């Protein structure tokens, strides 16, 4: 897991939204868009110790979608290797534990033991400088 860049920044430009709506210029920088291979994901650890929270971001072209890295079935992380969240050529997020499949754009489970449930969103945006930002309340 990668720790996000420590760069609170109020000077971001226009943003493209992933899931959820975002405030322009808001949010912690996670990485650059180019750091995520198109069609793949990247995991991040937010915070430290018992307060740490795992999230991941999936890239589809110039769009990004963020989720908490916890399967709605049993709460286990979804990645089976570091930054491996996508089932090859399927365009779906796959849980490593029992193989549940989730749509990238909305985190909806389309197959597996938690079908009909959703991943918890971790809304992200791309700022005008090509950085992926976590939108925090």
Site map (CB under 6 A) of ligand FES, residues 94-113, x = contact: -x-xx-x-----------xx
Asked whether the beta carbons of 125 and 12 are under 8 A apart, the reply is no
| Short-list 69, 43, 64, 83, CA closest to 124 | 64
**Number of residues near ligand FES (by CB under 6 A):** 11
The residues that bridge with 63 in the sheet, in sequence order, are 60
Smaller CB separation from ligand FES, 46 or 93: 93
* Nearest distance in Å: CB 41, ligand FES: 15
Distances (CA, A) of 131 to 30, 92, 109: 7, 24, 28
* Nearest distance in Å: CB 126, ligand FES: 28
Smaller CB separation from ligand FES, 26 or 55: 55
Asked whether the beta carbons of 95 and 109 are under 8 A apart, the reply is no
Site map (CB under 6 A) of ligand FES, residues 55-94, x = contact: ----------------x-xx-x------------------
């Amino acid at each position: 897991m990668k720790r996000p860049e420590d760069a609170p920044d109020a000077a971001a430009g226009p943003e493209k939204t992933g899931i959820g709506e975002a405030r322009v210029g808001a949010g912690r920088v996670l990485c650059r868009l180019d750091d995520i291979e198109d069609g793949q994901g990247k995991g991040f650890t937010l915070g430290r110790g018992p307060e740490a929270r795992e999230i991941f971001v999936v890239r589809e072209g110039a769009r990004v979608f963020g989720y908490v890295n916890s399967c709605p079935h049993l709460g286990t992380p979804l990645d089976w290797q570091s930054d491996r969240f996508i089932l090859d050529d399927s365009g779906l997020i796959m849980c490593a534990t029992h193989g549940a499949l989730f749509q990238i754009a909305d985190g909806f489970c389309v197959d597996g033991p938690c079908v009909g449930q959703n991943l918890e969103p971790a809304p992200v945006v791309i700022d005008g400088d090509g950085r992926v930002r976590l939108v925090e309340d």
